[in-house]
Chain A
Amino acid sequence: EVQLLESGGGLVQPGESLRLSCTVSGFDLSHYAMTWVRQAPGKGLEWVSSISAGGRSRYFADSVKGRFTFSRDNSKNTVYLQMNSLRADDTAIYYCVKGGNTTWSGLDPWGQGTLVTVSS
């Protein structure tokens, strides 16, 4: 069974940093693209970032470009979202999502999400 487990969420102050982790099981991470999607309170789903299976290609939403980085350690079955210079509007549930063999070939399944709250 494919499973994704996010961790690392929490309460931080504006300007601080946080690193989210997503540990997967049930599939070979090295063969799949991965994506982060978030949902702010009362809002819809918003794509954050995607990384290719090999890790060479990374894509970011304009809202996080230059502040967030996406990395992967296939040997640990884990991907990471490093979030710097956090702002109040980054407050959201962050979902880790399994992709296909390319970044554009589907998003499924999703993890349960981890809550990030940016507030002073």
Chain B
Amino acid sequence: QSVLTQPPSASGTPGQRVIISCSGSDSNIGDNYVYWYQHVPGTAPKLLIYRNNQRPSGVPDRFSGSKSGTAASLAISGLRSEDETDYYCASWDDSLSGWVFGGGTKLTVL
């Protein structure tokens, strides 16, 4: 059972916009930044969004993040076949004194 809650799966057709949610609590998302990672199994996870809504250089502006209270979301617009993989949210948890992750969302591009 992950501390942060994500839907296990999401899907969309090419060109569509998909939103992946991440729900936490006051001790993590409510008080700290949210980070989003794209993970192709067998490779190093890639940072997509940092500090709730900032995009590292090289990450397409199709990816965007937002946070409100104890929840966050990752939006992917203009969906492409190469977006089909796993996505994780993460945040520091003040009560646990450690990082917490969502259980991951497997995105399928239909």
Interface residues of A (CB under 8 A from B): 35, 37, 44-47, 50, 59-61, 95, 103-113
Contact = CB atoms under 8 A, between A and B. Distances in A.
Contacts of B50: 106, 108
A47 B43 contact: no
Interface of B: 2, 32-33, 35, 37, 39, 43-47, 50-51, 56, 88, 90, 92, 97-104
Q: What 3 pairs across the A-B complex have the smallest Cβ distances?
A: A104-B92, A47-B99, A44-B104
Given A44-B2, A44-B88, A44-B103, A59 B98 contact: yes
Given A104-B32, A104-B92, A109 B47 contact: yes
Given A46-B101, A107-B35, A108-B35, 18 more contacts: A37-B101, A44-B103, A44-B104, A45-B90, A45-B101, A45-B104, A47-B99, A47-B100, A61-B98, A95-B44, A103-B92, A104-B99, A106-B35, A106-B50, A107-B47, A108-B50, A108-B56, A111-B44
